[in-house]
Amino acid sequence: MKPSGAGVSLRRSQPRYGERVIEAVLFIAALVSILTTIGIVVAIIGPTIEFFREPSVTVWDFLTGTEWTALFAESQQEFGVLPLVSATLVTSVIAMAVAIPVGLGAAIYLAEYASPRARRLLKPTLEVLAGIPTVVYGFFAVSFITPNVLQSFLEVGTFNKLSPGLVMGVMIIPTVATLAEDAMTAVPQALRDGAYGLGSTKRQVATRVVVPAATSGIIAAFVLGISRAVGETMIVALAAGNQANLSLNPLELGQTMTGFIAQAASGDQPTGSIGYESLFAVAALLFAITILMNFVSIRLVRRYREVYE
């Protein structure tokens, strides 16, 4: 850089093209993420449009039909997606019924009750729960939970929605717990101290001050948990079954949206066949639901967000 006496500006007197090139290269690298999203949309949209162009399919029938026999012979094919949606719904509700209270409880304990040493020990243990591959959970559900636990008390077959729902719930506990705990530790101590100063017990502080103050983060934690439950594939593919079944009974088998996608894709549908296209249509529905939940989550978080000075 040439010294130019008093009033030297840090701006370069000559443009450095090398720097510009480097910046451009880095920018292109960052664009890969945009390309990924575009790729996802393109990959899904194309076959989905082809699917709805088929004469035997209409959007209305797809969204409201109650029979799904996409992989059967042409004369028997029905494309009503409600059975798949019902199974996704049941397994996700069961999973959240486990993950929300248990995750929140664990988070409250970690944030408000645990000593720093206990927290240093317990948090990583929960993280391990989150790090176990989902295929291992699926294996555990179908080879241990269903035969040993469920069949000892209930009338269930090898494939049912209760087993994967419960296992998914436990898998999601760390997701909910970590985010909720982060939200709670972000609440300023001043709020707690004020409550303690007024004579509250720890339970009252936790439930009446900290949790309400951390609502937006806790809601975000719940919604993220639901997203994970809806998008989970391996656990339901192994433990819920292969038959599209419109039923809200968790003791029956069923096939979720993700389970169907896995079955259709591994059955080697020929490219361009209506069975192949149907799997993309279901994926499009799944993607739309995920985006919608993300959107709802952002809205709710914004609505309940507390701003501390």
Partner 1 sequence: MDISSVRRRLAPFAVAGAAVLVLAACGSGNDPENTAAEEGSDSESLSGSVVVDGSSTVFPLTSAAAELFAAEQPDVQVSVGQSGTGGGFEKFCVGETDISDASRAIADDEIAMCEENGVTHDEFSIANDGLTVVVNAENGWATCLTVEQLNAIWAPDSTIANWNEVDPSFPDEPLVLAGPGTDSGTFDYFTDAINGEEGASRTDYQASEDDNVIVQAVQGSAGAMGYFGYSYYEENAESLKALEIDGGGGCVAPSAETVQDGSYAPLGRQLFIYPSAEALERPEVEGFVRFYIENIDEIVQAAGFIGLNDEQKTTLSDQFDALLGG
Partner 2 sequence: MTVTERTPPPPSAPQTPPVLTGRGHDRAPREYGFRTVLLICLGIGIVFLAVLLVYVLLEGWPRLDLDLFRNQGSQISPATAGAQAAIYGTLWLMAGTAVLILPLGVMSAIYLEEYADPEKWYNRLIEVNIQNLAAVPSVVYGILGLGLVVRGPLSLGPVLLAGMIILALLVLPVVIISSREAIRAVPDSIRDGSLALGATRWQTIWRTTLPNSVPGIATGSILALSRAIGEAAPLVIIGVALTVTFNPASVYDRFTTLPMQIYSYAQRPQEDFIILSSALIIVLLVIMLAMNSVAILIRNKYQRRW
77: left (phi over 0), alpha (psi -120 to 50) or beta: beta
**DSSP-assigned states of every residue in 136-195:** HHHHHIIIIIIIIIIHHHS---SS-SHHHHHHHHHHHHHHHHHHHHHHHHTS-HHHHHHH
- Cβ closer to partner 1: 150 or 213? 150
* 113 touching partner 2, by CB under 8 A: yes
- Cβ closer to partner 2: 41 or 249? 41
Q: Which of 220, 183, 215, 216 is nearest to 295 (CA)?
A: 220
Smallest distance, Å, CB 271 to partner 2? 5
Q: Which pair of tokens denotes residue 146?
A: 């269903």
**What residues from 121 to 180 belong to the interface with partner 1 (CB under 8 A)?**
142, 146-147, 151, 156-159
- The interface region with partner 2, picked from 74-82, 83-91, 103-111, 245-253 by CB under 8 A, is 103-111
185 binds, among partner 2, partner 1, none (CB under 5 to 8 A by kind): partner 2
* 73 touching partner 1, by CB under 8 A: yes
Candidate residues 52, 61, 65, 71; the one interacting with partner 1 per rule CB under 8 A? 71
* 189 touching partner 2, by CB under 8 A: yes
Smallest distance, Å, CB 112 to partner 1? 40
Cα gap 173→129, rounded to integer Å = 8
* 253 touching partner 1, by CB under 8 A: yes
Q: Are 172 and 91 in contact (CB under 8 A)?
A: no
Smallest distance, Å, CB 60 to partner 1? 21
* 242 touching partner 1, by CB under 8 A: yes
Q: What is the DSSP letter of 5?
A: S
125 binds, among partner 2, partner 1, none (CB under 5 to 8 A by kind): partner 2
- Cβ closer to partner 1: 143 or 294? 143
* 168 touching partner 2, by CB under 8 A: no
Amino acid symbol at 69: T
* 268 touching partner 1, by CB under 8 A: yes
Smallest distance, Å, CB 78 to partner 1? 8
106 binds, among partner 2, partner 1, none (CB under 5 to 8 A by kind): partner 2
- The interface region with partner 2, picked from 51-59, 62-70, 87-95, 137-145 by CB under 8 A, is 137-145
Residue with tokens 């719904």: 89
201: left (phi over 0), alpha (psi -120 to 50) or beta: beta
179 binds, among partner 2, partner 1, none (CB under 5 to 8 A by kind): none
Q: How many other CB atoms are found less than 10 A from the CB of residue 171?
A: 26
Q: Are 103 and 221 in contact (CB under 8 A)?
A: yes
246 phi/psi in degrees, rounded to 5: -80, 95
- Cβ closer to partner 1: 71 or 130? 71
The SS3 of residue 79 is strand
- The interface region with partner 2, picked from 50-58, 61-69, 263-271, 301-309 by CB under 8 A, is 263-271
Cα gap 234→295, rounded to integer Å = 26
198: left (phi over 0), alpha (psi -120 to 50) or beta: alpha
Chain centroid to CA 270: 30
What's the length of the chain?
309
Binding site for partner 1 (CB under 8 A): 67, 69, 71-73, 75-76, 78, 142, 146-147, 151, 156-159, 241-243, 245, 253, 263, 267-268, 270
